[in-house]
Amino acid sequence: MLLQVLGTAAGGGIPQWNCACPGCSGARAHPHWRRRHASLAVQAGEDHWYLVNATPDIGDQIEARPGLQPGPGLRQTPVAGLVLTDAELDHTLGIARLREADSLQVLATAPVRQALLDRLHLGAVLGPYTSVSWRELPPRGAEPLDGGGGGGGGGGGASAVQISAIPVSGKRPRYAADAPDDDAWVIALRLYEPASGASAVYAPALAAWPDRLQQAAAEADVVIVDGTFWDDEEPRRTGISTRTATGMGHLPIDGPGGTAELLAPLAARCLYTHLNNTNPLVDPAAPEHKRLARLGIEVAQDGMVIEL
């Protein structure tokens, strides 16, 4: 299984265009601090990739990875489709950016699909430009990531990877705040390669840590999870919100009930993604990195390649 980390920042990216916090100011002064919005590319077959979440940076993320760039045909692309973990804007705005595709395949749970079609009207907006096909990610069971379709000319064939959706939260985006409750609004993904037995868990947004996620993480070779905030008080302490991290739908890294204590006992390689610009981990020299290293936990970096 081959994974490429396309981005590791929470909404707004690092730096955020209208923010002068220490993290954003540091990223402007030190380009190696910069992070694009959190996204992952998964190889489903030879020259056949799926992008997990469609961020506002999607065009630059594709261009930054030679394996995702088009060719040799004029409009031949290895990008076969998208997988969405939720309906938040920072994970879906990039769908419109792909309107030049001959066709576009999107995998999402039922509430996420309905929000994008009924609230953001993506079907009506994209219809004049490209053909969008939707595949539902059921909240139970596994299915091939790649059914052989494509997003504009990539290779086909049987998928080398199976995908499972693990519901983790009923947190809805603000534009769908009055939509029906459903625990599949936010999911974690389990990616499994039958040929090697390798598995990975990707969960960039976590408001809870359910038993199914714990089981998948315990069996995985690599676990990449939500590292939006270092501790629960960070949003209030930094002045970006009147709510705590958990109140904003993100389990903190540190503190009682934090995800660090859940990741530390795992045999898997564990990494954090989706860092907010207020998170001290934005600074590569922050002492919090050493605290995580002592627990055997890493912070994912843009451009990382993970081969299982």
pLDDT for res 138: 86
pLDDT for res 155: 43
Question: How far is 7 from 174, CA to CA, in rounded Å?
Answer: 23
Cβ distance 92 to 126 under 8 Å? no
pTM above 0.85?
A: yes
Q: How does strand 269-273 pair with strand 297-299?
A: parallel
- Say which CATH class 2-301 falls into: alpha beta
pLDDT for res 154: 43
CB-based contacts of 131, cutoff 8 Å, min separation 6: 102, 103, 104
pLDDT band at 158 (very low <50, low <70, confident <90, very high): low
Question: How far is 42 from 47, CA to CA, in rounded Å?
Answer: 11
What percent of the chain is modeled with pLDDT above 90? 92
| Residue 43 predicted with pLDDT over 50 | yes
Query: Which two three-digit tokens encode residue 172?
Result: 């809805």
Q: How does strand 222-226 pair with strand 269-273?
A: parallel
pLDDT for res 153: 44
pLDDT for res 49: 97
| Residue 248 predicted with pLDDT over 70 | yes
Cα-to-chain-centroid distance, residue 135: 18
| Residue 151 predicted with pLDDT over 50 | no
pLDDT band at 139 (very low <50, low <70, confident <90, very high): confident
Strand order in the sheet with 297-299: 142-144, 162-169, 186-193, 198-203, 222-226, 269-273, 297-299
pLDDT for res 150: 42
